[in-house]
Amino acid sequence: MIQILLWARADFHRVSPHCLLRAIVVFFCMAAFGLSTPTLHCHSASAEQAMRPNIVFILADDLGYGDLGCYGHPVANTPVLDSLADQGVRFTQHYSNGQECSPTRTALLTGRYQQRVGGLECAIGTGNVGRYDDAIRLAEQHDLGLPVEEAVLPGELKKSAYRCGLFGKWHLGYEPKFNPMRYGWDEFFGYLGGNVHYFNHRETSDLHVLFQGQEPVDRAGYMTHLITDATIDFIKTSRSDPFFVYVSHECPHFPYQGPEDEDKIVTDENWMQLDPDAYVAMLEDLDREVGRILETLEEAGVAKNTIVIFESDNGGFAGAGNMGRLRGSKGTTLEGGIRVPLIIRWPDRIAPHTISDQVCTTFDLTTSILAVSGAKVADLRLDGMDIISHVAQRRDDIPRTLFWRGRRGEKTWTSVRDGDLKWVQKRESGDTEEWLYDLAGDVGEANDLSASRPGEAGRLRKLVGDWEKEVKPAR
């Protein structure tokens, strides 16, 4: 009887009175004859699906670790995201899997180290350009992108009856065979490359990459707003099914154009030129757009059963993103290049005002998303841990061993974090530099310990070598 009442309480608004009455009669009849009561199976598959949480995953682009008010930005006003952090958990030691765009997105959609795929350790260049030897080779073979068979998102969610939408930046292949719709997304609106003009939506001055599904389209409006508009429309039409929406913002990636900068002249020559005022305006506009999504969840009556995740794909662009005390920036595997904000809200599951120091990375979110959907995570050979359950169940923090490697041209950045120790190597044109840091007391990576602790440096160097053999790609 207790089992019946607990089930009915958890799902009362989906249980028919007839089903509940029948269950209670069965209980008393069987109890009278001394029989054990059966497990209740009255609720339908659709009710089981409805109990699964919706998931809204918001990915900012080039957002530095300190680019939000709740992470210490001295100027930007971000009340929506600050409030979201208060309503759930804010992580202090979260990392992107990559130091650039495409690598992290690969890890997110595969749930594994991007090195396993091949060719995606660096952002795909404008117009489908490979930027290091493996990527150049794949581009020449018209194969530079994420193979469909490597992705677990959204495919595994579709098996659990989720409706899945992707809105915004893709950056995992320009070829038609890498169009997002080939991976099982129910809807896609966004651009294929790494960045576009915020108002005319071209990549450089003339390259058209904006798509609705598999067809090129034109739209009027500011890119951040268009991404939000498409997300809101998707949520409004998905209320009857559990949904997963991947909101892949361009903001605050260059070109630096705030929502009022339509008349600013942006050319190929000044595309990456920093405008500090525009950068802050972009951050504050992004915050408001997240607010619009949260308001839509409330209006649709699904906010309490929706997990909202907000993170960045890598550290801030040099000179633009606020990395606080962190050293380095996007493109490096120093802390400023890979340590990023992460906020998660799950009402009634994650306690408000939680701050987590658990070390985690992007593909941990993939594991978590699949776990809450009911997917058979153990069968998928994922590399991450279920970070959402870790926080929701208030488990003790555990040490992690995580690896990074990013390649571009003749330059390779490699790192491993093992507990609080971090080893970093930079190789470029035959020259090699190495550093060892203890992040417990040196988050700014100012004190190189490699000379005083050569044994630890050697141990971590070997860890990286063993890892590189294990993740060697097949293609």
Q: What is the pLDDT of residue 9?
A: 33
User: Does 308 share its domain with 446?
Assistant: no
Which domain-ending residue is among 324, 357, 392? Answer: 392
| Cβ count near 36 (within 10 Å) | 6
Which domain-ending residue is among 392, 416, 444? Answer: 392
User: Does 434 share its domain with 372?
Assistant: no
CATH number of the domain bearing residue 419: 3.30.1120.10
Residues of the chain above pLDDT 90, percent: 87
Q: What is the pLDDT of residue 164?
A: 98
Q: In whole angstroms, what is the distance from residue 454 CA to residue 435 CA?
A: 10
225 is catalytic: no
Half-sphere exposure of 258 (CA within 13 A, CB side): 15
User: Does 159 share its domain with 182?
Assistant: yes
Catalytic residue among 70, 73, 94, 101: 101
User: Does 20 share its domain with 155?
Assistant: no
Residue 255 lies in a domain: yes
Q: What is the pLDDT of residue 51?
A: 80
CA distances from 131 to 144, 411, 412 (A): 11, 10, 12
Residues of the chain with pLDDT under 50: 1-46
User: Does 377 share its domain with 415?
Assistant: no
Q: In whole angstroms, what is the distance from residue 232 CA to residue 241 CA?
A: 15
Query: DSSP 3-state assignment of 307?
Result: strand
Q: In whole angstroms, what is the distance from residue 113 CA to residue 71 CA?
A: 27
Helix axes 276-299, 223-236, angle to 10 degrees: 10
Catalytic residue among 73, 94, 171, 201: 171
Which domain-ending residue is among 392, 409, 437? Answer: 392
User: Does 172 share its domain with 293?
Assistant: yes
Residue 230 lies in a domain: yes
User: Does 259 share its domain with 144?
Assistant: yes
Q: Count of domains in the chain?
A: 3
**Chain segment 146-160, per-residue pLDDT in tens:** 999 999 999 999 999
Residue 475 lies in a domain: no
Burial of 80 (0-12, 13-18, 19+ CB in 10 A): buried
User: Does 131 share its domain with 29?
Assistant: no
Residue 170 lies in a domain: yes
Residue 362 lies in a domain: yes
Q: What is the pLDDT of residue 36?
A: 37
42 is catalytic: no
The DSSP secondary-structure symbol of 135 reads H
User: Does 411 share its domain with 457?
Assistant: yes
Q: What is the pLDDT of residue 323?
A: 94
**Chain segment 291-316, per-residue pLDDT in tens:** 999 999 999 999 999 999 999 999 99
Q: What is the pLDDT of residue 48?
A: 54
User: Does 95 share its domain with 15?
Assistant: no
- The amino acid at residue 228 is T
Q: In whole angstroms, what is the distance from residue 306 CA to residue 234 CA?
A: 14
First to last CA, the chain: 56
CB 67 within 8 A of CB 321: yes
383-388 LR contacts (CB < 8 Å, sep 24+):
383/111, 383/112, 383/113, 384/111, 385/360, 387/358, 387/360, 388/307, 388/344, 388/346, 388/350
**In this structure, what token pair is assigned to residue 313?**
């794909």
Residue 15 lies in a domain: yes
Burial of 451 (0-12, 13-18, 19+ CB in 10 A): exposed
Range of the domain at 438: 401-470
Residue 320 lies in a domain: yes
| Cβ count near 298 (within 10 Å) | 11
Q: In whole angstroms, what is the distance from residue 61 CA to residue 120 CA?
A: 17
- The amino acid at residue 294 is L
CATH number of the domain bearing residue 92: 3.40.720.10
Residue 239 lies in a domain: yes
User: Does 433 share its domain with 289?
Assistant: no
User: Does 419 share its domain with 368?
Assistant: no
Beta-carbon contacts of residue 339 (< 8 Å; ≥ 6 apart): 65, 93, 94, 95, 315, 323, 326
Q: What residues does 425 pair with on adjacent strands?
A: 414, 434
